[in-house]
A and B are shown apart, each in its own frame.
Chain A
Amino acid sequence: MTQACITIKKMTMAYGDFIIQRDLDFKINQGDIFVIMGGSGCGKSTLMMHLIGMIVPSKGDIYYGKENLWGSNASNQRLLLNKTGVLFQSGALLSSMTLGENIALPIAEHTELNKKNIQEIVDYKLSLVGLAGFSDFYPSEISGGMQKRAGLARAMALDPEILFFDEPSAGLDPISSKLLDDLILSLRDNLNATIVMVTHELASIFAIGSNSVFLDPESKTMIAEGDPKKLLKTSQDERVIKFLSRSKKK
């Protein structure tokens, strides 16, 4: 029996009065590669911001293991969130620091390593995402896709148990995005990490996704969940099939 890593219970997300999604109810299991799918603007990034504790749900709860994310004090919440690493849709590298400094920042904060060891880890993480040698570049000096990858390296800096990626492969060429899929798989297999990602890349959804949730902007709720490969075969919902098959068969 796999363990539930994150549980979402009856959650409603809203910006002010404008409801984005309601009645979200699903589980992310330990070791899952969990895909959040849905059309542009349906609230995937918003859902991710909720999962990482940046936005308070307007209704419902989020559990990390058995602990309610918003049920206890701030320091306890911090402990729960320390297990996570996040790649934002925009990369969100600190623009006043070099890539190396960006990646070193969480390592220096949460470990007792000395400068030299930190730099070794930084170089290793950069080479994992194909950016070896770019340690001294500033985010403004590299391309969008490279910023994305550097953000990925920073998210992985502390080998977190749960990784959140918002469109990791957006802006990457097919070969890099295949490498990215391999990287994600090996993170899961070797570090036993759980991965939650927002993505539109059908190839990688089917290649590595093991569980998913599908958000629909019109009914403003989730309309499907489960293994994307099975969803494609068994789903009765036209919207889901249309999305997963690029509307080849209608």
Chain B
Amino acid sequence: MSFYGNWTTGSFSSGVEELLLRLDNHPKIKKLTFSTKKLDDWDSFFMAQLILIMDFAKRKKITIDTKSLPKGIQGLLELAYSVPEREGARKQKKKTSWIELIGNSLLSAKVELKNLVTFLGDLIQSSFSLIKGTGRFRFVDLMTYIQDCGPASLPIVSLISFLVGLILAFVGALQLSLFGAQMYLADLVGLGMTREMGALMVGIIMAGRTGASYAAQIGTMNVNSEIDALKTMGFNPMEFLVMPRMLALILVMPLLCLYADFMGMLGGAAVAIGLFDISSTEYWTRTELAVQLKDVLVGLFKASIFGILIAYSGCIRGMQCGRSASAVGDAATSAVVTGIIFIVISDSLITILFNQLGI
């Protein structure tokens, strides 16, 4: 077999596959020698082709004489074959039928459910040890997380809740004005924000902001074996990493919600005063009349629950994170998705429950 010309990654050549197919039809060939006198330039492309030929020859039990190859090529070939391929190391690629796919996803859903419940169990256990006073984390950590999810998220919470109040007022005002009942605008915005939208909006913002960052932080620690290191030092990652994050959110969420309620009413007031000729005193008196303490408390209660759920989904995704950069990204994404799903489902449940109880 003689090679000539350029055999490089840049050159235009179709490789030896076709040649090997033709060789297949000549079972009498027992020995292959190479001639490379006319070979000009070669690089890894040539080496890869050579290895194809060698593997082919091995399968067909053809002996190969590599002595005629240049020294450099011989050395590289020897290197390539010096460590044999590990049995079972190469990942098997196989096609899966759709029935198998459905089955697999059902099975993984089962595992996922089990993980969620196990994590919940661990979490409850660590909360107990926290209450008993044996749970340990660093107080500075708690402070950092509070700073992180409290004051640092005020700007975005302000913007979004102000605009949501504004939108509520707009949509409401158009309907109310059909009956000449613009007066009730304040009731609508006030009740809407305190009972529902304040908590929901803060929940969704924090799921995107803090939930994702929790997952990424814990995930990166996992990639870097930091969690293993914590365990070897006798710390429970649940107490050390998850608890302070969760506490921070439980403390901060109601405050953020209260703030969002206020901003939302401000947004509503802007519309009412600016566009519908309601005076500011009128607006605030109506708000005071309509919104009771009970309504505000309902919102705050929801916000705390959302805080728990956001921390839960962020931390569990972080703890489950694989050991690569893309796994950290996936963990952050799925923390947000899980968080929002949890928030919306629990919100509906709580609303229905309170409705039934007449609260």
Contacts and interface: CB of A to CB of B under 8 A. Distances in A.
A86 B235 CA distance: 14
Contacts of A82: 234
Interface stretch (A28-36, A87-95, A198-206): A87-95
Interface stretch (B5-13, B223-231, B260-268, B332-340): B223-231
Given A18-B88, A217-B86, A54 B226 contact: no
Contacts of A106: 233-234
B225 A81 contact: no
For chain B, the bracket of interface size reads 20 to 34
Contact of A86 (B220, B224, B229): B229
Interface residues of A, number: 28
Interface of A: 18-19, 39, 41, 49, 52, 54, 78, 81-82, 84-86, 88-90, 92-96, 105-106, 109-110, 154, 217-218
10 contacts: A49-B228, A54-B231, A54-B232, A88-B225, A92-B228, A93-B229, A95-B221, A105-B233, A110-B234, A154-B233
Interface string B169-192: 000000000000000000000000
Contacts of B286: none
B72 interface: no
B232 A94 contact: no
B230 A94 contact: yes
A94 B234 contact: no
Given A109-B136, A217-B86, A78 B234 contact: yes
Contact of B225 (A78, A84, A92, A154): A92
B88 A92 contact: no
A186 to B, nearest CB: 23
B75 interface: no
Contact of B86 (A105, A110, A218): A218
Contacts of B228: 49, 54, 88, 92
B233 A109 contact: yes
Interface of B is mostly: loop
Contacts, number: 54
A102 B233 CA distance: 11
B84 interface: yes
Contacts of B231: 54
B315 to A, nearest CB: 15
Given A81-B232, A88-B229, A105-B233, A94 B136 contact: no
Contacts of A49: 228
A94 B221 contact: yes
Contacts of A109: 136, 233-235
Contacts of A92: 224-226, 228-229
Contacts of A78: 234
Nearest to A106: B233
Nearest to B91: A18
Contacts of A84: 232
Contacts of A81: 232, 234
A52 B83 CA distance: 30
B304 to A, nearest CB: 26
Contacts of A19: 88
Interface in B273-290: none
A90 B223 CA distance: 10
A19 B87 CA distance: 11
Nearest to A87: B229
Which of A41, A84, A94, A106 is most buried by chain B, counting CB atoms within 10 A of its CB? Answer: A94
A92 B231 CA distance: 12
Contacts of B220: 95
Given A54-B231, A81-B232, A95 B88 contact: no
Contacts of B225: 88-90, 92
Interface in B65-97: 83-84, 86-88
B226 A93 contact: yes
A95 B83 CA distance: 37
